[in-house]
């Protein structure tokens, strides 16, 4: 790996990086342990990071385990992605009240959000942000809520040096290494050189922050260790998707018998869409108090796995699990290319881990490839 301005930050200095961000007015969000999982939440110091924890993942399985070292980012990905902050699950769009016989829309100016600094963004998560940028910022309809939250975000990315058995970013071209797209790009290094981070600035504001910290020049050994760590993470991935002709594969197999097979297992619980960092669908709900004097309109995440999602006049278009799973996967891996010029999947593996029955999108693609052209020509 060439030394393109890489420096080394001792792990003991990470708290100063967090403090410098706070001083610049950022609300820092990072990984922390809660309810038996690594989740993203506001943090004020490095003490809240998941020091010495790792995650054990498999289809329908997630457990935290102790590591035998003090790594701060020694896990892969948890159930949440950064869309928790950029495209939140619930947003009040407006409220209104009835007073003195008139209906008045209240002052619904969105509260200004503090700019957030996201600490520990993985390669696949950076790509997922780029996918949501394309959908929510760069398409015909610009989402003002997402735009405001995204504009202020300071991204501190963390290269992966380990993979979960559910990861397949290498086959999607979305990880585990990170070349660009973040303000700072870090790699956590342990071992003989001590606990430290290899750091590279990816923007002017990242470089500015880095200049405020005590760093040392990166050695050839630091660069080599980081490069080897990323290669090891990629090589450890046992799952993959063959993206060759995948759009045509999905479109040609509308009636493949595999859809019945997966439908027999799918509970249409929608977990896969909730944990997915690229899924963006929402619905709008109006609520009022019992007296009917106060009303609010909320935007909430929705899912193509619910029956109501495809409700149009007269009923739901997708009444079966088969229709809903097929819609989800065909949108992710085929129609997304037509709409947004990329796959809708970044290979994070969350939908595999958090599916209660362990349905595996990589396995479903493989099964579709076994005998093609079932249905549409």
Q: Which is nearer to ligand SF4, 26 or 325 (CB)?
A: 325
Query: Of these, 189, 346, 365, 368, which contacts ligand SF4 (CB under 6 A)?
Result: 346
Measured over the CA atoms of residue 13, residue 18, residue 23 and residue 24, the dihedral's sign is positive
CB neighbours of 362 closer than 8 A, spacing ≥ 6? 168, 239, 240, 241, 352
Query: Of these, 272, 304, 365, 368, which contacts ligand SF4 (CB under 6 A)?
Result: 272
Q: Which is nearer to ligand SF4, 225 or 278 (CB)?
A: 278
Does 330 bind ligand SF4 (CB under 6 A)? Our answer is: no
Q: Which is nearer to ligand SF4, 73 or 336 (CB)?
A: 336
Q: Which is nearer to ligand SF4, 187 or 271 (CB)?
A: 271
| Span near ligand SF4 by CB under 6 A; candidates 32-40, 139-147, 293-301, 353-361 | 353-361
Does 304 bind ligand SF4 (CB under 6 A)? Our answer is: no
Instruction: Report how far Cα 248 is from the mean position of its chain's Cα atoms.
Output: 26
Q: Which is nearer to ligand SF4, 154 or 336 (CB)?
A: 336
Does 241 bind ligand SF4 (CB under 6 A)? Our answer is: no
Closest CA to 262 of 185, 360, 140, 339: 360
Closest CA to 215 of 5, 10, 2, 3: 10
Smallest distance from ligand SF4 to CB 213, Å: 33
Smallest distance from ligand SF4 to CB 200, Å: 25
| Span near ligand SF4 by CB under 6 A; candidates 192-200, 262-270, 281-289, 306-314 | 262-270
Closest CA to 346 of 178, 131, 150, 183: 131
Does 7 bind ligand SF4 (CB under 6 A)? Our answer is: no
Using DSSP bridges, classify how beta strands 216-217 and 311-312 pair: parallel, antiparallel or unpaired.
Answer: unpaired
Q: Which is nearer to ligand SF4, 46 or 125 (CB)?
A: 125
Measured over the CA atoms of residue 202, residue 208, residue 211 and residue 214, the dihedral's sign is negative
Dig out the tokens for 53 from the structure: 């924890």
Per DSSP, what are the bridge partners of residue 284? 299
Does 159 bind ligand SF4 (CB under 6 A)? Our answer is: no
348 class by beta-carbon count within 10 Å (0-12 exposed, 13-18 middle, 19+ buried): buried
Largest distance between two CA atoms of the chain? 75
- Answer yes or no: are the C-beta atoms of 232 and 212 closer than 8 Å: no
- Answer yes or no: are the C-beta atoms of 334 and 119 closer than 8 Å: no
Does 150 bind ligand SF4 (CB under 6 A)? Our answer is: no
Smallest distance from ligand SF4 to CB 127, Å: 9
Query: Of these, 132, 187, 237, 278, which contacts ligand SF4 (CB under 6 A)?
Result: 278
- Binding residues for ligand SF4, rule: CB under 6 A, are 266-272, 275-278, 305, 332, 345-351, 355-357, 359, 361
């Amino acid at each position: 790996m060439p030394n393109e301005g890489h420096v080394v930050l001792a792990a003991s200095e990470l708290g100063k990086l967090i403090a410098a961000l706070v001083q610049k007015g950022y609300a820092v969000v990072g990984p922390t342990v809660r309810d038996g999982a690594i989740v993203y939440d506001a943090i004020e110091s490095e003490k809240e990071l998941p020091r010495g924890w790792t995650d054990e993942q498999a289809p329908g399985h997630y457990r935290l385990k102790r590591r035998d070292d003090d790594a701060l980012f020694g896990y892969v990905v948890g159930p949440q992605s950064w869309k928790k902050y950029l495209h939140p699950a619930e947003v009040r769009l407006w409220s209104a009240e009835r007073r003195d016989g008139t209906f008045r829309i209240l002052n619904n100016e969105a509260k200004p959000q503090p700019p957030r600094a996201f600490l520990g963004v993985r390669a696949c998560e950076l790509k997922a942000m780029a996918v949501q940028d394309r959908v929510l910022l760069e398409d015909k309809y610009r989402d003002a809520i997402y735009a405001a939250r995204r504009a202020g975000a300071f991204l501190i990315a963390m290269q992966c040096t380990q993979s979960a058995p559910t990861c397949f970013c290498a086959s999607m071209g979305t990880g585990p290494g990170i070349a660009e797209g973040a303000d700072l790009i870090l790699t956590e290094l342990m071992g003989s050189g001590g606990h430290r981070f290899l750091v590279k600035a990816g923007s002017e504001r990242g470089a500015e922050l880095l200049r405020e910290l005590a760093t040392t020049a990166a050695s050839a050994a630091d660069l080599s260790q980081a490069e080897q760590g990323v290669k090891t993470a990629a090589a450890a991935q046992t799952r993959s998707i063959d993206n060759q002709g995948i759009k045509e594969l999905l479109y040609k197999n509308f009636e493949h018998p595999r859809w019945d097979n997966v439908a027999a297992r799918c509970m249409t619980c929608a977990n896969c869409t909730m944990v997915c960092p690229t899924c963006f669908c929402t619905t709008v709900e109006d609520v009022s108090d019992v007296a009917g004097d106060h009303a609010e309109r909320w935007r909430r995440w929705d899912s193509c796995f619910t029956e109501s999602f495809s409700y149009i006049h007269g009923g739901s278009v997708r009444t079966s699990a088969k229709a809903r799973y097929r819609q989800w996967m065909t949108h992710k891996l085929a129609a997304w290319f037509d709409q947004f010029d990329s796959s809708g999947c970044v290979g994070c593996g969350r939908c595999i881990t958090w599916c209660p029955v362990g349905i595996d999108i990589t396995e479903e693609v493989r099964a579709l490839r076994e005998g093609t052209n079932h249905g549409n020509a």
